[in-house]
Amino acid sequence: MDVRAIRLEDVQGYINRLDAMSASTVKKQKLLLSQVFEHAVLTDLIQRSPVQGVQIPPQSHNTKVVFPYEKEDQEKLACAFTEEKHGRLRFRYGWGAVLILETGLRAGEALALEWGDIDEEKRALKVTKNMVRVDGKNTVQRTTKTESGRRTIPLNSRALEAIQHLKAQAIPSCPYVFATQTGKHLSYRNLLATMEKACEATGVEHRGLHALRHSFASNLYARSVEVKIISKLLGHASVEITYNRYIHFFEGEIDDTLRQAVGA
């Protein structure tokens, strides 16, 4: 787009579309645009910056900053999750944590998994359910957190390895992938305890189970996977949610795109 054709309403429309992002990010984008168009004014490309008069709309959401684990810490945790002592796993549910790291599942989605949801031959896992806590009891909802949460996730080699280990320790006729030794649904607390103990054993900061999901997203971005694909794999309702949740991944990319758009 020709920088001379950009009007105040175009910039205002762009700023309005950033509603899903944090307030600080919106301000940074406006500042960047101001700098670009001020340069255009100084070089006589335009007479007046279209950013003048642009208003940042009030935001009605709170943005939670997420911090995935660096690759080194992911490997430390994976080693702890899968460590064996005297022929037995140090952490019974460790391979379940590895599966979450390699698929980006929400904890509730993982805990609701059944063996029928996994197709090892096609190397795929279907997400169709979610486990929640209702009145102190684990309840499986035959739906996902959002409609887009229903999805199929490809399984890499480590995810398949995790599934094979989980299957090896499964109780016959038990349909649940994440199950207790008595064949009941594993609770969130059981899985969280595994995470806490693994962090303590490795000296890695405990950031909660959700940090494994965020690390999955971080790994995808590091491999230059498009945000649309990342959003789909995570089961987000929109790409905007993905940008908002992981804006610290994409800020440089957005800046570069804006500069390219105005020829700066």
Look at 145 and 25; give whichever has higher pLDDT.
Answer: 25
Return the sign of the alpha-carbon dihedral for residues 248, 253, 256, 258.
Answer: negative
Look at 24 and 172; give whichever has higher pLDDT.
Answer: 172
Ranges 7-11, 42-46, 236-240, 241-245: which has the least confidence: 241-245
CA nearest neighbour of 117 among 67, 167, 78, 182? 167
Whole-number Å distance between alpha carbons of 4 and 44: 10
Beta carbons within 10 angstroms of residue 112's beta carbon: 26
What does DSSP say about strands 88-89 and 84-85: parallel, antiparallel, or unpaired?
antiparallel
123-156 pLDDT per residue, tens: 999 999 988 876 677 788 877 766 788 999 999 9
Q: How buried is residue 12: exposed, middle or buried, by Cβ count under 10 Å (0-12/13-18/19+)?
A: middle
Whole-number Å distance between alpha carbons of 67 and 181: 33
Which amino acid type is present at position 264?
A
Q: How buried is residue 93: exposed, middle or buried, by Cβ count under 10 Å (0-12/13-18/19+)?
A: buried
Query: What pLDDT score does 234 carry?
Result: 94
Are 214 and 222 in contact by the 8 Å Cβ rule? The answer is: no
Q: Is the pLDDT of residue 161 over 70?
A: yes
Q: Where are the beta strands (DSSP E) in 128-222?
A: 130-134, 137-141, 151-154
Query: What pLDDT score does 248 carry?
Result: 64
Query: What pLDDT score does 257 carry?
Result: 47
The pair phi, psi for residue 138, each rounded to 5°, is -75, 125
Query: What pLDDT score does 258 carry?
Result: 42
Whole-number Å distance between alpha carbons of 251 and 264: 17
Confidence of residue 56 (pLDDT cuts 50, 70, 90): confident
Q: Alpha helix (H) ranges present in 104-187? A: 107-111, 157-168
Query: What pLDDT score does 216 carry?
Result: 96
Confidence (pTM): 0.71
Locate CATH 1.10.443.10 in the chain: 71-218
Look at 249 and 30; give whichever has higher pLDDT.
Answer: 30
Across residues 160-171, what is the average pLDDT? 95
Give whole-number Cα distances, 184 to 21, 88, 160, 196, in Å: 40, 21, 23, 22
Pick the CATH number of 71-218 from 3.30.450.20, 2.40.100.20, 1.10.443.10, 3.30.1280.10: 1.10.443.10
Are 211 and 192 in contact by the 8 Å Cβ rule? The answer is: no
Ranges 60-69, 136-145, 201-210: which has the least confidence: 60-69
Query: What pLDDT score does 256 carry?
Result: 54
